[in-house]
Chains A and B, each alone.
Chain A
Amino acid sequence: MFVPSQASAPSRTEPAIVRLDQVSVRFGVGPGAYEAVRHASLDVAAGEFVAIVGPTGCGKSTLLNVVAGLLAPSAGQALVNGRKVEGVTREAGYLFQQDALMPWKTALANVAVALEVGGVAPLEARERARGLLARVGLARFTERYPHQLSGGQRKRVALAQMLIRNPSILLMDEPFGPLDAQTRGMMGDLLLSLWSADRKAVLFVTHDLEEAISLADRVVVMSAAPSSRIMADHCIDLPRPRSINEIRLEPAFHDYRRAIWNDLRDEVMKAYGAQDEGESAP
């Protein structure tokens, strides 16, 4: 049995940039309705890196979509900068798990268009996009189409596309999930180096506990579906700057891993049990 380790949650005085207030999300109506999330409350401070972990299908991405304004909660509310989220959240950038680049645009055009739709002149947009693509290590690939890039390179383009608008909140939905282990490590380091330059609030969804601990300031644990709740909140007090591969060798890293896994284990078992009974999430 787990004990919610709320004691380890950080106490802060600064106002939250993202606040989830008793958010519930329900799909469908009547007896076929499915409740993905129940009464989730979460505060993210400006510049804070929060990772959300939980078993498969537990509504982690649902929470992100609520913050992004892509999905309206059926109860409770999401606040960004103190204002209720209605429509797409302008302050947020979203990095999707799947390929979300426009396949008919080159890497450069994909990044530049994010500025152009905001009213930046095309020439300037291209210049800035070129600069950012160089920072994510794609200076030589600006004229390639997405299908001509590797999975890791496509993620870098997507990262640049998200960052170029300079959003104050970054939402990431298992962004490195489809990549191989080595590329994941490199992408994690890249993300941390970009993030440390100008700290933005990050909500990072993953099912990989080690990835969560090595990246985040806080790891939030969600319970198994349906009606997932936020059941624990761990503060990760590891020194920065971090290296994804080296931080995993620290003894403190393993203490965190053990503590969080204690919370997570039963939920993961529950999730697999539910799947075996053919009740996986829609």
Chain B
Amino acid sequence: MNRTRLLLLQIGLGFGMLLFWHIVTTYPLLGDVKTIQFFFSNPVDVAARIWKLFHTGVIWRHLGITLAETLLAFVIGSGAGIVIGFWFARQPRVAAVCDPYVKMANALPRVVLAPIFMLWFGLGIWSKVALGFTLVFFIVFFNVYQGVKEVSPVVLANARMLGMNERQLLRHVYWPSALSWMFSSLHTSVGFALVGAVVGEYLGSAAGLGYLIHEAEGTFDVTGVYAGMVVLSLFVILIDYGVTLVEGRLLAWRPPAPETT
């Protein structure tokens, strides 16, 4: 299947689904239009609402806050994950002692932490950052830990024979290996940072995309919920695209084999 054909089919499928949605919510085929629209809204209304959100500029503040929370959660979570992952991998005794607690903390569904974070950090952005942090941290931590542990013994022996001391091994062998594992999970960790931000907003806040959707739900404004969802998915696709660009630059040395998590 060539590119143009694929693109046409993709657009066609999307258009078909929208058309189906439009028809069943505009014409009384399955029952009363008003009732159906209450539950499923209507694509034209949703489009108009999205246009309004952008036209009036209301959305920008919410997008900005969600983006800020996502980035902060990602940066702080990755930083902590790298440092602790490195530390554990180089100190097997520390890792062995902490192992059950790390597993326990990771097994906990993060949503239950949201109320506690709100208590600690208030309703502003930091409770959302904290929630995103708990998600990002473990992904990066496990990947960095694995990356340091699984350095090829031959590459390591070779580096030693080249005369590298511990510090140089860290810089030229362990560090790049750990980073490559971390970068291979970039999509997942950025995605989880966003999940943390939106879920946090949804559970209690005064701004952000999650708040927007939650507010619309509270007033049975289904059109508003759908509009928020569409904006959110477009936002995620955009961020994911950005990550793909960054990844392409950082992992240029990798063979293009499908070996990522």
Contacts and interface: CB of A to CB of B under 8 A. Distances in A.
B253 interface: yes
Contacts of B176: 102, 104-105
A184 interface: no
A68 B154 contact: no
A65 to B, nearest CB: 8
- Chain B interface, >50% SS class: helix
A114 interface: yes
A106 B254 CA distance: 11
A94 B157 contact: yes
B254 A94 contact: no
A92 B180 CA distance: 30
B160 interface: yes
Interface in A56-85: 68, 70
A96 B253 contact: no
Interface in B166-190: 168, 172-173, 176-177, 180
A113 interface: yes
B213 to A, nearest CB: 42
Contacts, number: 64
10 contacts: A68-B161, A70-B157, A70-B161, A90-B163, A94-B161, A100-B152, A102-B155, A102-B176, A162-B161, A165-B163
B30 to A, nearest CB: 56
B255 interface: yes
A171 B159 CA distance: 14
Interface of B: 152, 154-155, 157-165, 168, 172-173, 176-177, 180, 252-255
Contacts of B162: 113-114, 117, 161, 165
A101 interface: yes
Contacts of B253: 103-106, 145-147
Given A104-B253, A105-B253, A147-B254, A99 B160 contact: no
Given A117-B168, A145-B252, A145-B253, A102 B159 contact: yes
A93 interface: yes
Given A104-B177, A105-B253, A117 B163 contact: yes
- Chain A interface, >50% SS class: loop
Question: Which of A90, A99, A113 has the most B CB atoms < 10 Å from its CB?
Answer: A113
A118 interface: yes
Given A88-B160, A94-B161, A161-B158, 13 more contacts: A90-B163, A100-B152, A100-B154, A100-B155, A101-B155, A101-B158, A102-B173, A117-B165, A118-B163, A146-B253, A147-B255, A162-B161, A165-B162
A104 B173 CA distance: 9
Contact of B180 (A88, A104, A106, A147): A104
Interface of A: 68, 70, 88, 90, 92-94, 96, 98-106, 113-114, 117-118, 145-147, 158, 161-162, 165
A207 to B, nearest CB: 19
Contacts of A68: 161
B160 A70 contact: yes
A145 B163 CA distance: 22
B163 A99 contact: no
B73 to A, nearest CB: 27
Contacts of A146: 253
A118 B161 CA distance: 12
Question: Which of B154, B158, B163, B180 has the most A CB atoms < 10 Å from its CB?
Answer: B158
Nearest to A71: B157
Given A104-B177, A104-B180, A88 B252 contact: no
B159 A88 contact: no
A87 B172 CA distance: 20
Given A102-B176, A147-B255, A114 B163 contact: yes
A117 to B, nearest CB: 5
Contacts of A92: 161
Contacts of B173: 102
A250 B127 CA distance: 81
Contact of B157 (A96, A106, A114, A161): A96
A94 B172 contact: no
A85 to B, nearest CB: 13
A100 B158 contact: yes
A5 B252 CA distance: 54
Contacts of B255: 147
A94 B177 contact: no
Nearest to B162: A114
Nearest to A103: B253
A88 B173 CA distance: 17
A106 B176 CA distance: 13
